[in-house]
Structure 1
Amino acid sequence: MAMFFFHLTEGDEVIPDTEGLDRADLAAVEKEAVAGASALVAEAVQNGETDYWGRLDVENVSGERLLSLTFACSIHIDNVRAQPGCTESPRAHRQADRLC
């Protein structure tokens, strides 16, 4: 096992990881970074953010950057309402790119 540090950048803010995590190898580090980024994006969406991005930079104990993972989530919501008599759902409208 080796110690890895997952430093987070959100916008202009850098949040250093001062504790680190023990992981077996770079594959485990990559899996951890993807899971962390996924959780951050999910939390941002749940909090109503519609344009969120960040980066995780993973370093070893020597400060050597081993991995950089950039993530982003952009959400655009169209209020599509079915017209009277239309049997298709709003989702079907968007998928077909048409209205009833």
Structure 2
Amino acid sequence: MHPQQPFLLGICEALGPDAPLRRVVFLMVLWQVEEHGISAGELERRVDAAIGTAQSTTSRTIRVLVRAGLVECYLCSRDRRIRLIRLTGVARVLLRSLAERRPV
């Protein structure tokens, strides 16, 4: 078994059996920036670099993750035109618990 497999399987299990890879990648990117959030544009660039995705797919995936309670969107306090995305507390706890179970 690959060392990352239990971690990735845990994420897939949390998202449901039919979760596309891009949702897993979104959560992984957001987990890397932790609670500080990331702009929608930067998220799109990082996901595109990892798996390639269209802007419409990014928007749709964000909406799905918001409805699932794993991601929240908010406006940047310095520039209200910028929408930031970050993991919810529930998603951070889930990802941390999965990370603690994975072998190093």
Q: TM-score, normalised by structure 1?
A: 0.26
More strand by share: 1
Larger Rg: 1
Q: Which protein has greater RCO, CA pairs closer than 8 Å, 6+ apart?
A: 2
**Higher percent of residues as helix:** 2
